[in-house]
Amino acid sequence: MSDVTSAVTTSFGKAAADGRAALVGYLPAGFPSVEGAIEAARVMAAAGADVIEIGLPYSDPLMDGPVIAEAVQRALAAGTRVADVLRTVEAVAAAGVPVLVMTYWNPVDRYGVPAFARDLAAAGGSGLITPDLTIEESGAWLDAAAEHGLDRVFLVAPSSTGERIAQVTSVCRGFVYAASLMGITGTRDAVSSDAPGLVARTREHTDLPVAVGLGVSNAAQAAQVATFADGVIVGSAFVRRLLEATGSAATAAIADLTAELATSVRRPAP
């Protein structure tokens, strides 16, 4: 099934044809509850997100900043498991938006790579973003992903050499995740000055869309990234809205932020 068209790449293409960058929103499964996360993600999809990342809660989140780490720990404390993540994926995918799981590799390895790929595909998931999986150790995942037509999203960083970018992009499917800075997730006062150059260097090696994440937290920053990247990834800003409000107020806050960001990534007419 490796020749199946990527719904994620198609979504990026539709955004580009519409004169804008794609908006990719992240939320962890299980926070503020399993049903609460599903509702928030559905609202995000309805309000203008082109692709949604569902985080798989993990006890040692090396890349997560304090906002996402707090939400993940609350999800784990409430008993969120892989089955809940897959249920979240299934519910959100049914809303008509491509869904990727953002996960550290250990939970997938423990679940069993072929079984995880099978169950993710069965739930309607589009693939995985794997921030701590190196391409040298990704053979089992690449095989399983190809068998089930799943996207493989790896990260490139400002420190990546041209050779490394070529290696990483050669195994990507869906899009390439350009980490705009070295460090953990979280909101920043400004977009990293390394981001435009990283996107340009990545495009030298692939025709896949390149989306920028880490540190994009408001409409002005999203608009800036949209001028040079194919997609804008926002995570901590969404999670913060769920941490600061509850119930219908949290849902409204997610809808408002999504709509604001969806407007900001529209590129001005030439």
Nearest by Cα to 88 from 102, 106, 68: 102
Sorted by sequence, the CB contacts under 8 Å of residue 124 that are 6+ apart come out as 89, 90, 93, 94, 99
Q: Which helix (H) or strand (E) holds 198?
A: helix 195-203
Sorted by sequence, the CB contacts under 8 Å of residue 81 that are 6+ apart come out as none
- Among 39, 50, 64, 84, which one carries the catalytic annotation? 64
* Catalytic residue check, 53: yes
- Among 39, 50, 53, 119, which one carries the catalytic annotation? 53
Sorted by sequence, the CB contacts under 8 Å of residue 141 that are 6+ apart come out as 108, 113, 117, 128, 130, 133, 152
Q: Which two tokens stand for residue 261?
A: 């960001």
The conformation of residue 155, written as its DSSP 8-state character, comes to E
Q: Alpha-carbon distance 216 to 139, whole Å?
A: 31
Q: Which two tokens stand for residue 108?
A: 């997938």
Could you tell me which residues are beta bridge partners of residue 153? 129
Q: Alpha-carbon distance 256 to 67, whole Å?
A: 19
* Catalytic residue check, 64: yes
Note whether 132 and 105 are within 8 A (CB).
Answer: yes
- Report the catalytic residues: 53, 64
